Amino acid sequence: MPLVGTADVVNPAARAGRGVGAFNVIQLEHAEAIVAGAEAAGAPVILQISENAVRYHGALAPIGTATLAVARAAAVPVAVHLDHSTSPELVAEAVALGFTSVMYDASTLPYEENVRATAAVRARCHAAGVWVEAELGEVGGKDGVHAPGARTDPGEAAAFVAATGVDALAVAVGTSHAMLTRDAALDFGLIAALRAGVPVPLVLHGSSGVADRDLTTAVEHGMTKVNIATHLNRVFTTAAREALAADRTAVDTRGYLGAGRAAVAEEVTRLLGVLRATAAHATATHARAAGG
């Protein structure tokens, strides 16, 4: 199946009350694993490349072009997204390469500056047929949407979407980036209020810190695009460490990177099931896993 537009993945899920997994790519193995996991689940997926990953590679084109190639060869619908870009120039490069969406992050700016900058980026991207996600958290907060205790105001969120014309909005409801434990406390009432007041799909960043049951509940209350990065990196690294420990003479990188790739594929399949489940199904699954 060819590369698809991000709207073609996110909008039907929002209408149906399903979650969409958006998983971050750092190496080529991540892209291959995420697509393999989505194919096993029979579900669409979004491959994301962050500004930090671009910085790691030194440029967007090499990892971006490879990720687009993996998406185009997939057997399920796959979109490719630029995640957390603070640079309009990087956004323009992603659009030129063929990315199907971008997330422009001006959330650390004061509100009016965020609106002006985001609206300008949105206009250029829409002219190229590219879907745009933005972020709103504390007004002028220097740590933006993921500052400790930050929460997005539903009225302000609705006004921001109207003023900028963006296609999706990342909101602050209790998560933070790079969590290594899955015990974030989500504000489900706020998610429901945001869903009722905001006319575009909602995006949950920092979802690595959210337990399975709460991911399902978040989707039921109105979240659609669910971003996961750190959790999959932990899965990859754990599998690679185990492979190296099992064979201390190993020098072929394919052995331990392949183990990481296989582990991530399996976890992506599982997580996509979590995002598409109902709360009742998730509770039953949890009970079975606990021996109940």
Active site residues: 83
**DSSP calls for the chain:** --B--HHHHHHHHHHHT--EEEEE-SSHHHHHHHHHHHHHHT--EEEEEEHHHHHHHT-SHHHHHHHHHHHHT-SS-EEEEEEEE--HHHHHHHHHHT-SEEEE--TTS-HHHHHHHHHHHHHHHHHTT-EEEEEE-STT-TTGGGSTT----HHHHHHHHHHH--SEEEE-SS--TT-SSS-----HHHHHHHHHH-SS-EEE--GGGS-HHHHHHHHHHTEEEEEE-HHHHHHHHHHHHHHHHH-TT---HHHHHHHHHHHHHHHHHHHHHHHHS-HHHHHHHHHHHTT-
